[in-house]
Amino acid sequence: MTLEVISQNRSFGGTQTVFRHQSGETGTPMRFAAYVPPQAEHGTLPVFWFLAGLTCTEENFTTKAGAQRVAAELGLILIAPDTSPRGEGVPGDPAGSYDFGLGAGFYVDATVAPYAANYRMRSYIETELPALVAANLPADMGRQSISGHSMGGHGAITIALRNPGRFRAVSAFAPIASPINCPWGEKALPGYLGPDRSAWRAYDATALIEDGHRIPALLVDQGLADNFLRNQLKPELLEAACAQAGIGLNLRRREGYDHSYYFIASLIEDHLRYHAAALA
């Protein structure tokens, strides 16, 4: 499949590129950002995936997190996909809200019309995009790790739980810990998947762990000044599920930090070094 280069910039000796391609899963053009560090001149490199949150595109992490400098030092390829399909004819929220539809794909494969035709972000992230990365970039797909923010943190953890052994490290920034138990999820999941709550559990990290899915360890940073902490994120539910399952969760509650990319930029180096150690 052909990748179209939308933009390309030199950064810390490597190359930051935004690609566009026609997706068979979503039926739309999709964009993703890829940072390839200078070490790629000498061979393939491990891959760090970052999934963004509500309203975001591939641009948010790429331009705001400040990850390229550390990735260049550590020799990590950074992949930042979009959060949902976009384009003419792709249905959004009829009410025009930010937390459903365009920019709010929740990393699910929708089953309800009219969303089922395009909203297939689970299959796009789990299957289609990794194949494209493997075919077009100097990526060692035997060494992958995954992280994300908010809705993307939910996506990262659930994808890792559903694909045991694929990712050597998993982390998240302020993830939606249990979408079936918060307003964002209680709106999005029935909208994409219908009213059967049992179908929602495949897209809920806490529920997946309760249902027997496992990863060895998980790093989560959560700001205590986050406006969404109490009603939407609920890390205590994930904490309880991990404790019950024996998953090594390192949940670091950070005084004064909110939900913004200032929070991510402050801690991304720490996360990248955590991932690099596991990917070595």
Q: Is 259 a catalytic residue?
A: yes
Catalytic residue among 154, 213, 259, 271: 259
Q: What is the dihedral of CA 150, 152, 153, 156, to 10 degrees?
A: 170
DSSP assignment of 5-41 equals EEEEEEETTEEEEEEEEE-TTTSSEEEEEEEE-GGGG
Of 186, 158, 182, nearest to 170 by C-alpha is 158
Cβ atoms of residues 182 and 233 within 8 Å: yes
Residue 217 is inside which H or E element, if any? strand 217-223
For the chain, the first-to-last Cα distance in angstroms comes to 30
Q: Is 21 a catalytic residue?
A: no
Contacts of 169 (CB under 8 A, 6+ apart): 145, 146, 217, 219, 274, 275, 277, 278, 279
DSSP assignment of 118-182 equals T-BHHHIIIIIHHHHHHHHS-EEEEEEEEEEBTHHHHHHHHHHHHSTTSEEEEEEES--S-GGGS
Catalytic residue among 178, 213, 226, 271: 226
Q: How far is CA 276 from CA 42, 100, 150, 168, 226, in A?
A: 18, 34, 22, 9, 27
Q: Is 196 a catalytic residue?
A: no
Catalytic residue among 150, 221, 271, 275: 150
Which tokens is 18 given? 């935004």
Catalytic residues: 150, 226, 259
